[in-house]
Homo-oligomer: A and B are copies of this chain.
Amino acid sequence: MKRATLEELANLVDGTVLGDAAVSVSRVAPIDVAQDGDITFVTNPKYIKALETTAASAVIVSPALADRCSKPGLVCKNPYLAFAKILTFLSVEPPEVKGVMAGSHVSTTADIGADVTIYPGCYVGDNVKVGRGTTLYAGVVLYAEVEVGEECLLHAGTVVREKCRIANRVILQPKAVIGSDGFGFAPDGSRYFKIPQVGVVVLEDDVEIGASSTIDRAALGVTRIRRGTKIDNLVQIGHNVELGEDCILVAQTGIAGSTVIGNHCTFGGQSATNGHIRIGDNLTVGSRGGVTSSIDGNQVVSGVPAMPHRDWLKASMTFPKLPEMRRELSRLKNKIEKLESELKEKE
């Protein structure tokens, strides 16, 4: 277990020490369960009161809360980021380097870098390259001619099919599939003829792919996930998709084939896009939203077809009133007919 003083941690997270800089901590914990020896953090104003009662030894707070904190601690512009960095520093060990372990199957033509770990049950095909410091947990399969960069973590049971390329510091959660065939068939009468999927997938630096997510290889060319994009579990990325940098795709989202997405877009859970469309930078799609046609960025949309999020919220709140609206329409119609006939009688 590592231990660090507030002074050391202030340097790590570019923060200011509050109180005794020699106080030391060894764990990060939520404010309501933190114990002596722990550092905790407050980002949500509703937890300010807990600052007074927490048993934590130290607290990470924003400048706005610094006055209200009688504990030792750290003042940081972004307490949540500071929490993440301190948690990483105290809790995360680089995976132990174990080399090519017995029970793995590595082709004699594979090029394995220094400090690589390959667990039992892995299969590394012909002409594969694995970069320095990368770890393949048990049961990872790399088909022929795959390239994996440096300091990647490929968790148990991930599969990367032939010729796909993974850059540096990429994380694949268990059972992620990279390079499965795109879903392409040409109708031949009533039957379907398989269109060979001879393209590849490229995952750029710092991409993370969630458990059991599937990234299809291109029919021709490349399915590309750009630097820093994070994909959650059970997400489907169709063939020839291009995803921009620093995007966030929450679980069970589906991006249909050949769609091109800008940088810094966010997709809520179970959202989706049609294929062959273009999406601008900084688009946020609400959970279950469906983007059916090309759309500019710098906005928040929801619903199907996607509309401004506020419009969707209002329409969704009105939706349960539909039956009453229909009855009201019918009542008004009757009243109008009565008025019409009364007016006619007067003539």
Query: A210-222 CB contact bits vs B (8 Å, 1 = yes)?
Result: 1110101000110
Flag if A270 contacts B269 (CB, 8 Å).
no
In the complex the two chains form, what is the Cα distance from A137 to B332 in whole Å? 67
Is A151's CB within 8 Å of the partner chain B? no
Flag if B270 contacts A183 (CB, 8 Å).
no
Binds B, one of A50-58, A63-71, A138-146: A138-146
Is A72's CB within 8 Å of the partner chain B? no
In the complex the two chains form, what is the Cα distance from A316 to B342 in whole Å? 37
Is A109's CB within 8 Å of the partner chain B? no
Flag if B234 contacts A234 (CB, 8 Å).
yes
In the complex the two chains form, what is the Cα distance from A85 to B159 in whole Å? 28
Q: Which residues of B contact A228 (CB under 8 A)?
A: 191-192
Query: A161-186 CB contact bits vs B (8 Å, 1 = yes)?
Result: 10000000001011101001101111
Is A97's CB within 8 Å of the partner chain B? no
- The closest CB in chain B to the CB of A312 belongs to B320
Flag if A81 contacts B180 (CB, 8 Å).
no
Q: Which of B103, B198, B233, B304 contacts A105 (CB 8 A)?
A: B103
Flag if B326 contacts A332 (CB, 8 Å).
no
- The closest CB in chain B to the CB of A274 belongs to B287
Flag if B191 contacts A246 (CB, 8 Å).
yes
- The closest CB in chain B to the CB of A292 belongs to B287
Q: Which residues of B contact A214 (CB under 8 A)?
A: 173, 175, 210-212, 233-234, 251
Flag if B138 contacts A141 (CB, 8 Å).
yes
Q: Which residues of B contact A269 (CB under 8 A)?
A: 236, 254, 256, 272
Residues A193 and B84 in contact in the complex (CB < 8 Å), given A157-B159, A270-B270: yes
Flag if B155 contacts A161 (CB, 8 Å).
yes
Flag if A333 contacts B339 (CB, 8 Å).
no
Flag if A318 contacts B323 (CB, 8 Å).
yes
Q: Which of B83, B188, B319 contacts A303 (CB 8 A)?
A: B319
Binds B, one of A2-10, A17-25, A86-94: A86-94
Q: Which residues of B contact A88 (CB under 8 A)?
A: 194, 196
Flag if A323 contacts B328 (CB, 8 Å).
no
Q: Which of B105, B236, B304, B326 contacts A325 (CB 8 A)?
A: B326
Flag if A343 contacts B343 (CB, 8 Å).
yes
Residues of A110-129 contacting chain B, CB below 8 A: 119-123
In the complex the two chains form, what is the Cα distance from A193 to B208 in whole Å? 11
Q: Which residues of B contact A137 (CB under 8 A)?
A: 141, 143
In the complex the two chains form, what is the Cα distance from A87 to B337 in whole Å? 66
Flag if B183 contacts A230 (CB, 8 Å).
yes
Flag if A159 contacts B159 (CB, 8 Å).
no
Is A262's CB within 8 Å of the partner chain B? no
Kindly list 9 other residue pairs between chains A and B, CB separation below 8 angstroms, not including A190-B263, A214-B234, A346-B346. Answer: A78-B187, A83-B195, A85-B193, A156-B159, A157-B175, A171-B194, A175-B177, A192-B248, A252-B254
28 contacts between A and B (CB under 8 A): A30-B221, A78-B187, A78-B188, A83-B195, A119-B123, A121-B121, A121-B123, A137-B141, A137-B143, A139-B139, A143-B156, A157-B157, A157-B175, A161-B174, A173-B214, A180-B211, A191-B246, A234-B236, A236-B251, A236-B252, A250-B256, A252-B254, A270-B272, A287-B290, A314-B322, A317-B323, A319-B322, A335-B336
